Amino acid sequence: MTTFGLIRHGSTIWNKEGRAQGSSDIPLDEGGWEQARQLGKRIKTESWDRIYVSDLIRAQQTAQAIAEGGDLQISSDPRLRELDGGLIEGTTQADRIARWGEDWKSQDLGLETPESGAARGVSCLEELVSLYPNERILIVSHGVLLNHVLNQILSDEPKWHGLENMSMTVVHCNEDHVWSCELYNCTQHLLPSEAEALD
């Protein structure tokens, strides 16, 4: 059985401003770096074999911070990048309504389709299952892409949506290529310790 830890990258300024990022190459903000370091502390207490990451800088920086002080090999794969947001990249919901009206989602604004994003994301995971059977692999990617991947590989489950920044979702692929989910959207590593809470 191959296990994947699916990680959404840490926060960016655009996340905080509610701007669509898509394939725009936006770096982590200070909070995003700290989130990634906190997850890195958790990773050091667990057993993982390698990290695969989107080629966008916010995911690359997240992977680097997670791997600090460890010996996990980081490999980049463009199939893990976020869905292309077309004309909406850099805009807020208010911007989109002002430019294209309330029905902007029904218009052709150059967005990559969910089917396209899911297909490339799943192809990456399936290739890794073949290359590294029975390993435990971290995947650092993006919220929308990971949601569509989860909805494809766990099609019998309720629809997945709303992954938080720096969340961890753990899925397994068995020898029959049947997928299951052990943990979804976990951010417990971001909670302050009891000692910190008392300060």
**Which entry of 9, 112, 142, 148 is annotated as an active-site residue?**
9
Is 11 annotated in a binding site? The answer is yes
Is 10 annotated in a binding site? The answer is yes
Look up 189 and say whether it is catalytic.
no
Amino acid identity of 104?
A: W
Amino acid identity of 38?
A: Q
Is 99 annotated in a binding site? The answer is no
**Which entry of 30, 82, 89, 127 is annotated as an active-site residue?**
82
Is 13 annotated in a binding site? The answer is yes
DSSP 70: S
Q: Which of 36, 20, 196 is nearest to 109 (CA)?
A: 20
CA dist 42 and 101 (Å) reads 44
Helix axes 57-67, 30-44, angle to 10 degrees: 40
Amino acid identity of 122?
A: V
Look up 34 and say whether it is catalytic.
no
- The dihedral formed by the CA atoms of 12, 84, 180 and 166, expressed in degrees to the nearest 10: 0
Residue that has been written with the tokens 């990249």 in this structure: 89
Is 15 annotated in a binding site? The answer is yes
CA dist 12 and 23 (Å) reads 14
Q: What residue numbers does the annotated binding site for substrate cover?
A: 8-15, 58
Q: Which residues are catalytic?
A: 9, 82
Q: What residue numbers does the annotated binding site cover?
A: 8-15, 58
